[in-house]
Amino acid sequence: MVTSPVLMTVMAHPDDAELWAGGTIARHVQNGGTATITVTKTDPIRAAEATAGAQILGADLYLLDALTPATISTLLTEVRPDIVITHSTDDIHPEHRRCAEHVLAALPEVVITTGHPNRVYHCDGYNNLDQHGKPLHLPTIIDTTDQWSTKIAALQAHTSQPILDHFGPMAETLSRLHGMRIGVSHAEAFRALPVLGRVPAAEGL
C-alpha cells in the first residue's frame, strides 16, 4: 500500500507556517500529499485564525500548549511525518530559535524509533536575515507561483496580525527574491539538515 507523503511544519506562532512555508504546504497538498501545521496554542482568537489558515492550505492543525522536546517528540511519533519544516536555529526571533532547537532535540530518538522524518528543513526568516544580520543560507528553492494566492489567503486569515502593512509585503518581497533565483514569479526557500548524519537526496523537499 502506497501512502501519500506527510509534510509537517513545527513553528513557534500561528501565521508562521503560512508566512514561511504556506505556498510549499499548499503545493504539497495539491500534489496529493498530506500536511500538518503545529504551533503553540495561544489565545482563542489566534487559535481560530490558525484553524482558518490551515483549512485554506488544506492542512491539519495541531495546537500544543507548549513546544518542548517532549511534546514535539510525542507528536512526531504519532504522526510520523516524512518531511519536517521548522525555523532556523539562527533566526532573528528568539522564540523561533527555541522552537527549532526543541525540534532538533526531539529528532534523534524519534528517528531511531520510528524511522521518521526522512528529511528536515529550516525555513526563511524576517527579511531573509539571521540574528547577525547576514542572509540565511537557503539553497532549496520551491516554485510556489501557482500557490501564491492560496498562501496569501491563508496569511490574511490572521486578521489580528499586521498582515496588510507588514507581513504581507514582506512575504511578497521574499517570494519574488527566491523566485528570481530559479526564474519563476514566486518561490519559498529552505535548507536541508542532516538526519542522523545523513541528508537524503530528494527532488523538491
Number of domains in the chain: 1
The closest of 191, 185, 82, 202 to 141, measured between CA atoms, is 191
Whether 123 maps to a domain, the answer reads: yes
Whether 72 maps to a domain, the answer reads: yes
Instruction: Report residue 14 as a C-alpha cell.
Output: 500561528
Whether 154 maps to a domain, the answer reads: yes
38 Cβ partners below 8 Å, 6+ apart?
A: 8, 9, 10, 11, 61, 62, 64, 67, 72, 75
Whether 44 maps to a domain, the answer reads: yes
Angle at 192 between CA 191 and CA 193, to 5 degrees: 120
How much is the pLDDT for 52?
Answer: 98
Give the model confidence (pLDDT) of 103-132 as tens digits: 999 999 999 999 999 999 999 999 999 999
- Measured distance CA(69)–CA(86) in Å, rounded: 13
Amino acid (1-letter code) at residue 111: V
- Measured distance CA(118)–CA(194) in Å, rounded: 10
Whether 55 maps to a domain, the answer reads: yes
pTM here?
Answer: 0.96
CATH of the domain at 102: 3.40.50.10320
Give the model confidence (pLDDT) of 78-110 as tens digits: 999 999 999 999 999 999 999 999 999 999 999
Whether 203 maps to a domain, the answer reads: no
Whether 160 maps to a domain, the answer reads: yes
Domain carrying residue 186:
6-193
Whether 67 maps to a domain, the answer reads: yes
